[in-house]
A and B are shown apart, each in its own frame.
Chain A
């Protein structure tokens, strides 16, 4: 071989090129980067529409001007059951408040199980498990259940929580949505 070191350099550079391309094709993002805070926080809430189990239709459009708590839940998730007493208490406390609305959107459950659980637990805020509910779970970018989002009267998401809520968290979310927190 007439130019041995030149060929060594060639092989080295070609190897580096292949390595660079392979790595560039395979690097990925941090899978847990979005595990704490919703990407929608501080942004206008997505459009959504669901039908409550009593037949009432509610939507992002119909609730403009109100403070809305959207809670994603299902009948088999244990943390959802843990937060249920808090939601029941909060719902009862605000039953006569026309400016605040709680909507429970089922996620990953069956029609019958949702209906039964909502009836047994007197969840007047629960929506049907249907295509609209599925679209809402996608629109909010839910990762699991329970998840709760607070939407201000201006339609902006001002709070979100992954996991069971407490009364303190709900009150803080509402206060922030109403500009007093």
Chain B
């Protein structure tokens, strides 16, 4: 059989492409990384445990910051990547890794796409090999006349395209179905898994959208409030405070920015300063229930003034008896009443 070198060229090229792709994917990265860079890389591989859709590297929660410090200490201590990942998997389980491990059952995650690829490539190869045995009149494909003589029938060009297309569809469908079945998602990107509790859009991309909206409409207090509420929900206190304060500047007649600025400042460990802003919210709107709640909580928990807290919490129930915090207010109220019976109050309610 005579080999046509030009006919083999595409296959050699294919081999180079495939080999190159896998070498790129599997090539160990690291080596001379700095401590900071290695910490950052490891943090980007770990899931933030108290926020959604973010890695430890991306998150600003207290837990994520503590984890980054822990990672850096371990890197400085000379622990290997595998040892560090092992510690975190021991504590949190495999799900702490944004990408699955590559051993045990998790190996299937990596092996199945490769298997689908090999099957489809093999199928394409077999199909082409079969076509080469069949003369189709284009004068170029028949390289083995002896084989061609026993070929059962002629393949039409349309059929060939159909076969190739089917194989590609098989490969793509297998890989995509696998990715969905395993809850695949790009770290920091949009989740594509089936878990209904996972937001359709990641926290990072949602925050980018809110920031973009706030920047596009710098005079829009609602855009600032949306950003502030989102950041507060993620315990990004500094970011929330910044947005709330911008909102307060834009609309000094709105109680929410003042009340929540005060609450955030209290959460950061400064209840007295926080209370000043909560008071400002009540100056703006004495009926704003959230401010009543914050004031009652600060008086009870931080200023040891249960008598004043009782009045404040009662006021909440007057203005918002069925409000979202009503149940909690009733519990706090009972606690404050009990405490007030044994404590002398020196602070008067507003």
Contact = CB atoms under 8 A, between A and B. Distances in A.
B195 to A, nearest CB: 5
Contacts of A108: 61-63, 235
Interface string A11-39: 01111111111011111111111100001
Nearest to B111: A24
A8 B14 CA distance: 12
Contacts of B93: 33-34, 39
A39 B193 CA distance: 22
Interface string B111-128: 001101100110011011
A107 B110 CA distance: 37
A106 B186 CA distance: 33
Nearest to B194: A30
A81 B331 contact: yes
Interface in A105-151: 107-108, 110-113, 116-117, 120, 134-135, 137-144
Given A7-B10, A82-B331, A29 B183 contact: yes
Main secondary structure of the interface of B (DSSP, over half): helix
Given A13-B14, A16-B117, A26-B184, A138 B66 contact: yes
B304 A20 contact: no
B211 to A, nearest CB: 23
A31 B198 contact: yes
B99 A20 contact: no
Contacts of A40: 90-91
A9 B171 contact: no
Nearest to B18: A17
Interface stretch (B146-154, B156-164, B242-250, B281-289): B156-164
Given A6-B7, A81-B331, A144-B50, A19 B185 contact: no
A83 B184 CA distance: 36
A82 B165 CA distance: 60
Contacts of A2: 6-7, 140
Contacts of A135: 70
Contacts of A107: 63
Given A5-B131, A120-B304, A32 B198 contact: yes
B239 interface: no
A142 B88 CA distance: 11
A32 B197 contact: yes
Contacts of B117: 16-17, 19-20
B35 interface: no
Which of A29, A39, A137: most chain B Cβ within 10 A? Answer: A29
Contacts of B185: 26, 28, 31
Which of A19, A23, A110: most chain B Cβ within 10 A? Answer: A23
Contacts of B187: 28
Contacts of B271: 113
Contact of B172 (A16, A25, A116, A142): A16
Nearest to B110: A24
B319 interface: no
A46 interface: yes
A28 B171 contact: no
Contacts of A32: 95, 195, 197-198
A30 B182 contact: yes
27 contacts: A5-B157, A8-B160, A13-B120, A15-B168, A17-B14, A17-B18, A19-B171, A19-B175, A20-B113, A21-B25, A24-B113, A26-B185, A28-B99, A28-B186, A29-B94, A29-B98, A30-B182, A30-B193, A31-B191, A31-B193, A33-B95, A34-B95, A39-B92, A40-B90, A43-B90, A111-B269, A144-B50
Interface of B: 6-7, 10-11, 13-14, 17-18, 21-22, 24-25, 47, 49-50, 52-53, 61-63, 66-67, 70, 89-100, 106, 109-110, 113-114, 116-117, 120-121, 124-125, 127-128, 131, 140-141, 157, 160-161, 164-165, 167-168, 171-172, 175-176, 178-179, 182-187, 191, 193, 195, 197-198, 235, 267-269, 271, 300-302, 304, 328, 331-332, 339
Closest 10 CB pairs of A and B: A141-B91, A110-B269, A39-B93, A33-B95, A20-B117, A16-B171, A34-B93, A30-B183, A10-B10, A27-B184
